[in-house]
Structure 1
Amino acid sequence: MIKAPCLILLYVLSGLTGCSSAPERNYQVNTYQRQASAWLAQGDRKRQQGAYQQALQYYDNAYRYASKRHDVAQMGLARLKQAAVYIKQGQGELAEGKIAQAAEFVRFEHTELAPAIDFMRSKLAFSRGEQAQAQALLSKLQAQYSEQPEKQVYYRWVGWQYTPQRLDWLQAEQDMQLLAQMKADRTLNNIEILSFVIYHNVLWRVTFEHHDVPQAIETAIAHFASLELTNRLVDCFEIAVQHYLAIGDTARAQYYQTRLAELTSSGH
């Protein structure tokens, strides 16, 4: 039989556990979430390097770990990233299947993937020559992100990629300055956006014989060298060779041709 003093002590102790001043414990386990994020990041890296098969595998790994946690946002993101690879490879049906899988997570789980799905559907439509559909989806996104400069710049440049005749060089230069400043301020969230802009800036300047091509070439080479994206360095060297041959600067053209040969022979 428990005596009265003991009952009082038990009551006091139980009260203390209910109103403890110790910090509340975090019982959430996020091991699978971290692993999924790591695989997504590695997949992105391989995709940027042009190693598409490895990227697809890494995205599958990300999906598998996210699935273990039922992290439907990461699961949908992994599928959309795979869709981007398939579009790049001209495999539209496979891309469409991955987009449909991501759309299921929006339908049944209310994930915030709808804008990303619209963008991927825009890229798929463009790859199929469905220009009006691609532009309509892109215009929707541009309006949706009108208050987010980084994404606004990206969707604007993708729009110029769809219809180069609409390219506004004054706006393009302002966009590049903005992204460069955001990078310097460490407020740039997605380095891939800056990479996209830098690459297309040099590509379009050469294509349309716009001014400041040498500076654009140097900027692009320095940028992709800093990210160790050798495949993009190869692209930049090819553009440089094309430009300097066109203007009759054979010495510079030969220099970049030599660098191009060195990189391609090393099995980048």
Structure 2
Amino acid sequence: MDTTLARFFDTLATGASLDEDDRNHLFQLPFARKTYPAAGYLMRQGDRGDALSIVLDGYCYGQKDDGEGKSQIVSLAITGDSIGLEHLYLRAVDHDTRALTGVVVATVPLAAVRQIAARRPAIAQALGVHQAIRHAITREWMVNIGARDGLRRVAHFLCEFAVRSDAAGRTPEDGYELPMSQEQIGQATGLTAVHVNRMLKTLHTAGLVERSWRHVRFADWHGLRDIAGFSTDYLHAGQQVRIPAPPAP
């Protein structure tokens, strides 16, 4: 648990000047380890959001139902990502969060997070930046569905998955294991499973990706990125405005 939490705190530190004392306070938060089976619910729409979870292992997704039996996947969480930070400010859970694979998370009561954020401004800023980046990713997903054609949508989704996996240290030497079925990729990109399959075949035929079941290797990363029009700018790695640490008394 400590290794993944340390990586999460390192990610927070890119958005604020966290000193050693800040990090010590973060490690002292009362985290508890929880496990969920694939397809299990971490949170359900209508629940009261009362905990922050850090994904220690596995993948989760946010899902919103249209009220008539159709679902849209609205977010993807990988190892080292947080779930539920918005409930520092919003009481009601407005979408489901489900496990894509078996998932292990570290949870901490939001009341404890609020207390530490109130006492330590650098931690409050770091949490705010972290949530702002999640919003930036959501905006990019909206553009992906609303403005790109099917081939670019799938290519962009694959590019983002690769970059975020690399940042989380989940990059095997021979490619990536996609945790999502073609139907689920379709729910994230606004396409049918048949359309997703066709787009993956097109990328494969073009020599951009090699795939076997859910295993994908990027044979031509630059070509895939160019088709997708992919830029990492919206992930905001290392581009945050920092609040200077207060001067020593």
TM-score (norm 1): 0.29
**Structure with greater strand share of residues:** 2
Higher helix share: 1
Q: Higher relative contact order at CA 8 Å, sep ≥6: structure 1 or structure 2?
A: 2
